[in-house]
Amino acid sequence: MANNTIRLEIITPTKMFYRDDVELVVVKTSKGEEGFMAGHLWARKLLSIGPLKIREPGASNMKYGVIAGGYIDVSTTGIMIYTDAAEWDTDIDLKLATDQKAAAEKYLREHRDMPDDDPNIIAVQKGLARSEARIHTAKRRDKLLKMS
C-alpha cells in the first residue's frame, strides 16, 4: 500500500459493499461532510444518511454513492464504515426514489398527530432522508452524464 492510500471497507448487514485502497473517503457526519485519508488521526464518528464519495488511487474522478447512516472507524491501519445500506449512484432508480419520497411525505402528513418518537414515524423519517439523499445523488449523476 502506498503512503497516500489506506484500506477502506464498507460493510452492510448483508454484504461487504466495498473493500479496496483509497486516497480519500468523504461521508456525512453530524458536523457535515468530512473527509478521511491515510495519516488521519484516529476517529470514530456517527454517520448521517447521505452521500459517499471515494477517490481511488490515481483516479481523476470520484466514485459516488449513498449510505444509510452508521459509523466510521478510522485507524492507522484502515477505515471501516458500518452502515445499514449502501449503493452506488449508478444503481439508483431516480423514479423509484422520487416515488418513495412522495409516499413518505404523504404518510407524515397523514400522521402528523402522532408523536415524533413513535417508531413508525422515526422509520418513515429515515426513509424520507434516504430517498432525498438518493435523489440528490442520482440528479448529480444525471447532470454529469449530460455534460459528457
Rounded Cα distance between 72 and 81, Å, is 4
Give the pLDDT score at 142.
Answer: 82
How is residue 99 written as a grid cell? Answer: 416515488
Q: What is the pLDDT of residues 36-75, one digit of tens each?
A: 999 888 999 999 999 999 999 999 889 999 999 999 999 9
pLDDT at residue 100 greater than cutoff 60: yes
Give me the percent of the chain exceeding a pLDDT of 90: 84
pLDDT at residue 29 greater than cutoff 90: yes
pLDDT at residue 1 greater than cutoff 50: no
How is residue 69 written as a grid cell? Answer: 447512516
pLDDT at residue 109 greater than cutoff 60: yes
Q: Which residues contact 125 (CB under 8 A, 6 or more apart)?
A: 104, 108
Give me the percent of the chain exceeding a pLDDT of 70: 97
Instruction: Reduce the secondary structure of 24-82 to three states and give it as a string.
Output: EEEEEECCEEEEECCCCCCEEEEEEEEEEEEECCCCCCCEEEEEEEEEEEECCCCEEEE
Q: State the residue for C-alpha cell 457526519.
A: 29
